[in-house]
Structure 1
Amino acid sequence: MKTIKPTKIGAYSSCKSELRSSEMGDLWAAYMGNSMSKCVLSYFLKQVEDKDIKGTLEHSLSLCEDFLGKIEKIFRSVNHPIPIAFTKDDVNLDAPRLFDDEFYLHYLRQMIRAGINLYALSVPLSTRTDVSEFFIQCVDETMKLVNILNDLLERKGASPKTPVIPVPEKASFVQNEDYFNGYLGKIRPLHALEIKHLFDMVGANSVNKALLFAFSQVSESEKIKQFFKKGEELIANTLETYTHYLTENHLPALPLLDHMVTTSKFSPFSDKLMLFHTIDLFTLRIRDIGNSIAENGRHDLGLTLFKKLTTVGFYVQDGAKLMLENGWMEKISHAPKWE
């Protein structure tokens, strides 16, 4: 049997083939996300006091810069324009502190989840050697960061752990359709995957709520400020709904993080960056809801999730319109238009 030798990550093979649509789109999305994260992490590093958290932020920032440089190299190999994305004009490193140190850990946890989702899904669709190797490196380095972050959260006593449930006495099968009930008849407790998704979505939305709370304090545009407040209200309603499903099953839910936002009124970020970030986070919530629907088995929870999907979708659409109004919506590559 032929042995496959491991490829040295980073030493990308020369590849003259054109970029496929999936590669072009995923590289563009990765560039936009890492460009935004570079601005955010640079500001966090100016404010952080905890040495352990600072080290993790520095490591995260170095990954962003490395990924950006490699994407630029691939784009230049096919004469693809480098996205404008975000620059030093989108961050004010001298702005006062807007978040407590612990918030940086919860924020990083959510952004890492977003990165892993993008990078992992990109690997099987990438056919160019350099692109495939790049996304494999992204997955590998991001997973290493996950372990570093989880260890730090544990040491700081801030690790968000899913609830413990009893181990079944034996393997068994569902006996009747009552298993799917949610409104009438006998309603079963939540199963393990339903608990996982609800718990995870509570954690993600708690970070989002605190972030929007902060953004609404410092935004310079009244219209965009109101958009952030609307999003905060949407999340508050969502958290109430998800938490209810957990508490009615006597399961714990994660607390809010709003107390980790300071009273500063000076924005460290441009409205463009904050609006893009908000849309990006809510887009991730759409993915979370979709994953939850796919593994749900109760009619009531399924309907609730479908309603949330619609609500979040309309909110993202409103945000996209604001980006368009302000001339901030950068265009991704698309198929040719035939006359």
Structure 2
Amino acid sequence: MTKSTHIPLSASELSNLWMTYQHQTMQMRFLEHFLEHAEDDEINEMLKKSYDSCGETVDRIINFFHLDGAVIPVGFTERDFIKGTPKLFDFLYEVMFLHMISKIGTSLFSLYSTMSYRQDIRKFYRELTSTYQMEFDLSAQFLLEKGVLARPPYVTMPQKVSFVEDTNYLSGLNIFKEKRSLNTVELSLIHHAIETNLTGMQLMMGFAQVARDEKVKEYFVKGMKLSKEVETTLGEYLRRDYIEPPATHAGKATNSTTPPFSDKIMMYITSLLSTFGLGSHALGGAFSLRSDLPLTMAKLAQQIFSFAKEGGEIMIKNGWMEEPPQVEDRQQLTKPGR
């Protein structure tokens, strides 16, 4: 794109690049800790590829900002990662983390692609989405082969097409009526929510052990309990249909109390997971046809929203929340002397 034909970044493109910069610099700091302790060659290769990809992405975003005269965000730097600290998470958690973060990245960056209008930005997010899909594929296959990732249950294949003929199909709130079994759409959304919360719960446990600030430590304990409540509440829907909820024996927090990360970066990724959780519950409620499920999803989403709001207040109080680019204040433009 030559200077004469340069199209400025739109508000959505600027904001998405800004958020991607935050995401990528955060991920690099976590990968640095995991790479310090990676003993398996295959895991080390996965982590290194992801780290290098994040670095290349950050450089490309900096170039976009330079071309449009935008200030480079702070994001997360070497000050947010402490080298030489003990391993915070045990057996295969680094791959579980990569699996979780690649889910988030695939969702976010495919969305950002559809919000972009400049050809080079669309291409950038298309390539980034492809990278995260590949990381998801590699991490999922690795965890499946190690017996760590629980597959969703198998069901009998449908032999005929059916249409709903009774409005009782939508019921679920009436305690005097027997609830129908979950359909596969509802089951898959519940399984996904539980699987993500299992990884998030271990993250909260590790963070609670190493947080320096007492309020932050208490916040992570709340996050751990909230993840457990989500897993228990949604798992009960599966158990009622004699389906065992997903679980894993891997990725537990170690007994280390030495922080490898700043409280700032731990709060940020918690905020990111909370936002992703809100989206997942909104999706789950929207596509669930049994009336009790959307209500449960909405109640859980309200708790997650309150948790996220409290986290935002903690971050602002401590000066950890970097402000996104602002729309120009038009009221200032109308004041005398402008």
Q: TM-score, normalised by structure 2?
A: 0.94
Q: Determine the C-alpha separation between the residues in 2 that align with 1:227 and 1:151.
A: 33
Residue 17 of structure 1 pairs with residue 17 of structure 2: no
**Pick from 94, 119, 126: which aligns with 2:116?**
126
69-78 vs 161-170, which moves further: 161-170
Alignment of 1:146-295 (within 5 A): 146-184=136-174, 185-255=177-247, 260-295=252-287
Q: How far off is 1:259 after superposition?
A: 6.2
Q: Structure 1 unaligned segments of length 5 or more: list them.
A: 1-11
Q: How far off is 1:93 after superposition?
A: 2.0
**Structure 1 moving runs of 4+ over 3 Å:** 12-15, 256-259
1:226 to 1:118, Cα distance in 2 relative to 1, 3 A? same
**Pick from 48, 51, 64: which aligns with 2:54?**
64
Q: How far off is 1:159 after superposition?
A: 3.0
179-188 vs 319-328, which moves further: 179-188
Paired residue secondary structure (1:332): coil
Q: Is the 8 A contact 1:119 1:135 kept in 2?
A: yes
Residue 324 of structure 1 pairs with residue 316 of structure 2: yes
Q: How far off is 1:240 after superposition?
A: 0.6
139-148 vs 112-121, which moves further: 139-148
Q: How far off is 1:238 after superposition?
A: 1.3
Paired residue secondary structure (2:18): helix
Q: Determine the C-alpha separation between the residues in 2 that align with 1:186 and 1:334.
A: 52
Q: Is the 8 A contact 1:202 1:239 kept in 2?
A: yes
**Pick from 279, 291, 295: which aligns with 1:303?**
295
**Pick from 10, 18, 34: which aligns with 1:28?**
18
Deviation per CA, 1:254-288: give whole Å up to 9, x if none: 11568621000000000001011111111110011
Q: Determine the C-alpha separation between the residues in 2 that align with 1:319 and 1:63.
A: 29
Deviation per CA, 1:201-235: give whole Å up to 9, x if none: 10100111100000000001111000100111111
Q: Determine the C-alpha separation between the residues in 2 that align with 1:231 and 1:256.
A: 19
Q: Is the 8 A contact 2:43 2:95 kept in 1?
A: yes
Amino acid at match of 2:202: A
Identity percentage over the alignment? Answer: 27
Paired residue secondary structure (1:260): coil
Q: Is the 8 A contact 1:216 1:229 kept in 2?
A: yes
Q: Determine the C-alpha separation between the residues in 2 that align with 1:206 and 1:142.
A: 21
Q: How far off is 1:115 after superposition?
A: 0.6
Q: Determine the C-alpha separation between the residues in 2 that align with 1:86 and 1:217.
A: 21
Residue 105 of structure 1 pairs with residue 91 of structure 2: no
Q: TM-score, normalised by structure 1?
A: 0.93
Amino acid at match of 1:172: S
Q: Is the 8 A contact 2:148 2:249 kept in 1?
A: no
Q: Is the 8 A contact 1:52 1:152 kept in 2?
A: no
Q: How far off is 1:147 after superposition?
A: 2.2
Partner of 2:336: none
Amino acid at match of 2:314: L
Q: Is the 8 A contact 1:96 1:264 kept in 2?
A: yes
Residue 85 of structure 1 pairs with residue 85 of structure 2: no
Paired residue secondary structure (2:149): coil
Partner of 1:5: none
Deviation per CA, 1:101-148: give whole Å up to 9, x if none: 411111111100111111101112211122111101101222222222
Amino acid at match of 2:144: E
Q: Structure 2 unaligned segments of length 5 or more: list them.
A: 332-338
Amino acid at match of 1:158: V
Amino acid at match of 1:332: P
Partner of 1:137: 127
